Amino acid sequence: MTPTREAGFRAALDRALRAGESVLAAGGSALDSVTEALCALEDEPLSNAGRGAVLTRDGRHEMDAAVMDGRDRRAGCVAGIMGPCNPVRPARCIMERTDHVLMVGEGARRRRPAA
């Protein structure tokens, strides 16, 4: 790792930290803060979050994400999904809007929970 590349990674992590911190500074919840920080990482070109750490045998990205609210131990997870830029968002949606904890593959991507 070159010093320039390391500085780029540190700047990317700082941007994610600031995204989460700004939510807290505005009175948002810890869960909202974590969601925004993870979305910032998922959107970061230097990070492989949100793009899949490894390609499948078919050369596609399959992603997993999980989120948990420590206050009541609710959790939501997605696994093996392709498509969404921010897999933490469907994981959170599963936690908040369904009776499920984990949804996998195409069914997780297509599921449109009731509001």
Query: Domain count of the chain?
Result: 2
Could you tell me if 55 and 43 lie in one domain?
Answer: no
The pLDDT value given to residue 22: 98
Measured CA to CA, the distance from residue 42 to residue 103 in angstroms comes to 20
**Six token digits for residue 13:** 């992590």
Using CA atoms, how far residue 44 sits from 30, 39, 65, 95, in Å, is 21, 8, 16, 25
Q: Print pLDDT tens along the chain (115 aa).
A: 899 999 999 999 999 999 999 999 999 999 999 999 999 988 888 877 766 566 778 888 788 899 999 999 999 999 988 876 788 999 999 999 999 999 998 777 665 554 4
Strands (E), the chain: 63-69, 74-81, 102-104
Q: Give 3-state DSSP helix, strand, coil % of the chain, rounded to 5.
A: 45, 15, 35
Contact indicator for 108, 79 with CB cutoff of 8 Å: yes
- Main-chain dihedrals φ then ψ at residue 44, nearest 5 degrees: -80, 120
* Coil vs helix vs strand at 64: strand
Could you tell me if 85 and 102 lie in one domain?
Answer: yes
Could you tell me if 32 and 63 lie in one domain?
Answer: no
**Six token digits for residue 85:** 């830029």
Could you tell me if 73 and 109 lie in one domain?
Answer: yes
Could you tell me if 111 and 80 lie in one domain?
Answer: yes
Contact indicator for 78, 56 with CB cutoff of 8 Å: no
The pLDDT value given to residue 115: 45
Could you tell me if 42 and 71 lie in one domain?
Answer: no
Assessment of whether the complete model's pTM goes beyond 0.85 = no
Q: Which domain holds residue 17?
A: 1-47
